[in-house]
């Protein structure tokens, strides 16, 4: 049986290699899955033949990693960076001089991810260590095993018994885009670039989640005793034969012109690659020459990196506009004369905040540098002062009044943002409140997105959310982009929202500090809006988990005459302002006193359903991990920051199945 299991493992690894390294699959996904299933079955039946390098282990195990710090056998040096042809020429000439003869170089792409060092013993992956400080790194072996382009067992026979490879772990653009889309949906901050995403992923403490992130890896260096060749290029080619993914872009050059041509070619062509690159690495090929040249404390003398210039364009600053967000924060945006940058036309760039405008010393009509670094949104990085004429435009200063409602802007001490305080009269803030009111977890009114709310508001049909209940269908139908059917849907959905239970209506009011959980606690504690509105601060803080800040916010909200009228109007339209008995019954207290954080994507129920279940059983939901968290209910693609924090605080992570078992769901 042992032979059969091993043969199947070899066969699957070969299929992996064809798929992930050569991008040339041998069999259909379905056949592949069947083989994996068969192997899993055999491994379950014959646990005595378990092997950490079995392809079934690539999905990651359940163990949580507490990374062990280990010392690198060979320190992981970095490369000295150069930014110009001149510096590359200097490197070349310096090296010819030191070696006393012409030499072969190898040009490679500099992949922009995280570096990794992987040790192989007797043809099997034994340990993978991050760069760390170059001398010590984190043992991330279990995570690296999930990367399918990294072989667990090597092909062929001519590898040394013990050697290391160095390479770059990457998150392909397509995976990065999907991950960020999910994170935004999940209300988690998106990663700024694929490098950050890859580095966050490889440090995750749950290899299962790493496996879902589809990382890739290129190997760019082989080191150890008894390597097959005395040339770096030849050793890398051999590594390709052993099953490693080695870039097709590596090229041997025999003179400086070839190196410069390589740089020029890839500076353009790299834009078509599926992964991020930030330069070219130029290495002396002969390992004997490498040893002769040696290294400084930081970097080898036999290699340099040439970094591609960030994609930058110069264009004219036409004006600065100010956008008021739903929370009242005012963001300055530069309007630019259209310019091509990294294949897109850029007309606007973020200016972030008042301090940044000041730092740039912007004047109207300035020629400004626009860059797209590793980040996605272009930014202004400087002014071409030399192109200013005698007639310099007026200095740009941050506005002091809200462009939407004219209120005087305020800035909170210690914060970078300026914001408009007049939340009751400032149109974007009012629209924001209406959007919150209709949102799925609040009144769940379909058929209205942000744009349509804007349209109804701008056309004067609604002034606040309560006007939705008196909307005249004929008026809506007269507006652009509305048809009979969509109007009927909207009106139906508004009517149905009158059945939404009190706790969600309370949440929909948009009282600052009152999120879903607090709204529910208040609804259960006070049972009706009338009781809540007449509550004192003492009454409010006596409710479990309601602190002084929330209590004061509730008082302030109901002290405002406009809010009172708003509530009265909603009442008159028949919305529910009394708790439903059903909410109070059917509950249990098995989760009482326990705080949960829900993170990731789930298969069996939606996040909202899980939240409701937690509350139904007396537990509490929280949006962020803290020392007060008891459990994290984790689905797929849980955010790495949350995971790290949970691990450092020793918080238990449970899967949806474990949760359902616990609650009898
Ligand atoms: S060679 C001693 N080759 O760039 C040799 N590095 O500072 C050291 N990198 O973090 C590295 N692509 O992870 C080499 N083709 C390539 C590379 C590469 C990316 C990274 C490497 C390191 C940094 C160099």
Q: Which residues are catalytic?
A: 110
Q: Which CATH number goes with the domain that contains 139?
A: 3.30.470.30
Choose the final residue of a domain: 499, 532, 547. Answer: 499
Answer whether 48's CB lies under 8 Å from 42's CB. no
Kindly state whether residues 488 and 546 are assigned to the same domain.
Answer: no
Separation of alpha carbons 612 and 390, rounded Å: 66
Kindly state whether residues 492 and 524 are assigned to the same domain.
Answer: no
Could you tell me if residue 641 is inside a domain? Answer: yes
Q: How far is the CA of 179 from the centre of ligand 1 (A)?
A: 25
Query: What would the mean pLDDT of 547-575 be, rounded to a whole number?
Result: 95
Kindly state whether residues 233 and 182 are assigned to the same domain.
Answer: yes
Could you tell me if residue 552 is inside a domain? Answer: yes
Could you tell me if residue 318 is inside a domain? Answer: no
Residue 455: domain span: 427-499
Q: How far is the CA of 167 from the centre of ligand 1 (A)?
A: 7
Could you tell me if residue 244 is inside a domain? Answer: yes
Question: Rounded to a whole number, what is the distance in angstroms from the first to the last CA of the chain?
Answer: 41
Choose the final residue of a domain: 584, 603, 629. Answer: 584
Whole-number pLDDT of residue 230: 95
Whole-number pLDDT of residue 5: 92
Q: pLDDT, tens digit, for every residue of 471-522?
A: 999 999 999 999 999 999 999 999 999 999 999 999 999 998 898 889 988 9
Phi, psi of 400 (to 5 degrees): -110, -5
Residue ID of nearest Cα to ligand 1 atom 23: 78
Kindly state whether residues 180 and 52 are assigned to the same domain.
Answer: no
Q: Ligand 1 pocket: which residues have CB below 6 Å? A: 77-79, 108, 110-111, 115, 168, 220-221, 281, 300, 303, 305
Stated pTM of the model: 0.60
Which are the contacts of 307, defined by CB distance < 8 A and separation ≥ 6?
81, 82, 83, 110, 278, 279
Kindly state whether residues 190 and 206 are assigned to the same domain.
Answer: yes
Kindly state whether residues 46 and 118 are assigned to the same domain.
Answer: no
H or E, element range at 238:
helix 232-242
H or E, element range at 345:
strand 344-350
pLDDT higher than 80, residue 342: no
Q: To which residue do tokens 């055999």 refer?
A: 42
Q: How do 80-82 and 418-419 pair as beta strands? A: unpaired
Q: What is the percent of the chain where pLDDT is above 70? A: 96
Q: pLDDT, tens digit, for every residue of 98-154?
A: 999 889 999 999 999 999 999 999 999 999 999 988 888 899 999 999 999 999 999
Atom of ligand 1 nearest to the CA of 250: 15
Probe target for ligand 1 pocket from 78, 244, 245, 275, with the most ligand atoms within 8 Å of CB: 78
Kindly state whether residues 489 and 543 are assigned to the same domain.
Answer: no
Separation of alpha carbons 278 and 113, rounded Å: 10
Kindly state whether residues 444 and 466 are assigned to the same domain.
Answer: yes
Q: How far is the CA of 305 from the centre of ligand 1 (A)?
A: 8
Domain count, the chain: 5
Answer whether 182's CB lies under 8 Å from 601's CB. yes
DSSP state of 17: I
Could you tell me if residue 180 is inside a domain? Answer: yes
Kindly state whether residues 571 and 514 are assigned to the same domain.
Answer: yes
Q: pLDDT, tens digit, for every residue of 594-622?
A: 899 898 888 888 887 888 888 878 788 88
Separation of alpha carbons 146 and 54, rounded Å: 11
Kindly state whether residues 492 and 529 are assigned to the same domain.
Answer: no
3-class secondary structure, 462: coil
Kindly state whether residues 156 and 196 are assigned to the same domain.
Answer: yes
Which ranges of 416-560 does DSSP label H, i.e. alpha helix?
427-438, 450-458, 473-477, 484-496, 502-508, 516-526, 529-533, 537-541, 548-559
Atom of ligand 1 nearest to the CA of 168: 13
Separation of alpha carbons 131 and 139, rounded Å: 10
Kindly state whether residues 494 and 507 are assigned to the same domain.
Answer: no
Could you tell me if residue 26 is inside a domain? Answer: yes
Could you tell me if residue 351 is inside a domain? Answer: no
Could you tell me if residue 615 is inside a domain? Answer: yes
Q: How far is the CA of 111 from the centre of ligand 1 (A)?
A: 8
């Amino acid at each position: 049986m042992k032979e059969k299991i091993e043969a199947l493992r070899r066969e699957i690894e070969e299929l992996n290699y064809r798929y992930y390294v050569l991008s040339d699959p041998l069999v259909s996904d379905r056949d592949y899955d069947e083989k994996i299933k068969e192997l899993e079955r055999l491994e379950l039946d014959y646990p005595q033949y378990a092997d950490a390098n079995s392809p079934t282990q690539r999905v990651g195990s359940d163990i949580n990693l507490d990374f062990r710090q280990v010392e690198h056998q060979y320190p992981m040096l970095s490369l000295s960076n150069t930014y110009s042809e001149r510096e590359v020429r200097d490197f070349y000439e310096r090296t010819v001089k030191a070696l006393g003869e012409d030499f072969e170089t190898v040009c490679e792409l500099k992949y922009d991810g995280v570096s990794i060092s992987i040790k192989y013993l007797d043809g099997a992956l034994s340990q993978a260590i991050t760069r760390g400080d170059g001398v010590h790194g984190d043992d991330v072996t279990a995570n690296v095993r999930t990367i399918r382009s990294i072989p667990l067992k090597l092909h062929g026979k001519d590898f040394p018994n013990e050697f290391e490879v160095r390479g770059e772990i990457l998150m392909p653009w397509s995976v990065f885009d999907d991950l960020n889309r999910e994170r935004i949906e999940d209300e988690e901050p998106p990663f700024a670039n694929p490098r950050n995403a890859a580095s966050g992923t490889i440090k995750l403490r749950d290899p299962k989640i790493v496996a879902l992130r589809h990382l890739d890896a290129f190997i760019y260096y082989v080191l150890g005793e008894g390597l097959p060749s005395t040339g770096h290029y030849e050793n890398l080619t051999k590594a390709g034969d052993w099953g490693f993914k080695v870039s097709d872009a590596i090229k041997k050059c025999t003179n400086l012109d070839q190196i410069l041509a390589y740089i020029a070619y890839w500076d353009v062509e790299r834009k078509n690659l599926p992964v991020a690159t930030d330069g070219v690495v130029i290495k002396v090929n002969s390992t004997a020459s490498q040893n002769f040249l040696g290294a400084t404390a930081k970097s080898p003398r036999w290699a340099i990196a040439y970094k591609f210039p960030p994609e930058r364009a110069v264009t004219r600053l036409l004006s600065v506009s100010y956008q008021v967000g739903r929370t009242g924060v005012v963001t300055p945006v530069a309007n630019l004369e259209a310019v091509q940058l990294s294949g897109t036309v850029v007309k606007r760039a973020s200016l972030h905040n008042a301090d940044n405008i000041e730092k740039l010393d912007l004047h109207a009509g300035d020629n400004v540098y626009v860059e797209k670094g590793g980040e996605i949104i272009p930014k202004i990085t400087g002014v071409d002062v030399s192109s200013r004429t005698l007639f310099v435009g007026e200095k740009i200063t941050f506005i002091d009044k809200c462009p939407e409602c004219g209120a005087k802007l305020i800035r909170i001490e210690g914060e970078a943002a300026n914001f408009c305080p007049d939340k009751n009269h400032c149109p974007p803030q009012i629209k924001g409140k209406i959007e919150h009111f209709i949102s799925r977890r609040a009144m769940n009114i379909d058929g209205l997105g942000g744009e349509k709310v804007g349209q109804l508001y701008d056309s004067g049909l609604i002034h606040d959310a309560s006007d939705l209940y008196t909307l005249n269908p004929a008026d809506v139908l007269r507006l652009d982009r509305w048809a009979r059917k969509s109007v009927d849907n909207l009106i139906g959905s508004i009517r149905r929202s009158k059945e939404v239970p009190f706790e969600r209506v309370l949440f929909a009011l948009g009282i600052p500090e009152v999120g879903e959980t607090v709204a529910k606690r208040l609804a259960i504690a006070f049972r009706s809006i009338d009781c809540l509105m007449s509550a004192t601060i003492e009454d409010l803080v006596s409710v479990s988990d309601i602190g002084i800040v929330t209590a004061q916010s509730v008082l302030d909200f109901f002290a405002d005459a406009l809010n009172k009228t708003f509530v009265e109007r909603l009442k008159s339209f028949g919305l529910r302002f009394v708790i439903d008995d059903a909410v109070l019954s059917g509950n249990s207290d098995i989760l009482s006193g326990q705080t949960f954080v829900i993170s990731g994507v789930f298969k069996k129920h939606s996040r909202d359903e899980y939240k409701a279940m937690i509350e139904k059983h007396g537990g509490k939901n929280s949006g962020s991990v803290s020392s007060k968290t008891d459990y994290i209910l984790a689905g797929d693609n849980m955010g790495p920051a949350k995971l790290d924090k949970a691990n450092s605080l020793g918080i238990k992570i449970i899967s949806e199945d474990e949760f359902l078992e616990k609650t009898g769901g």
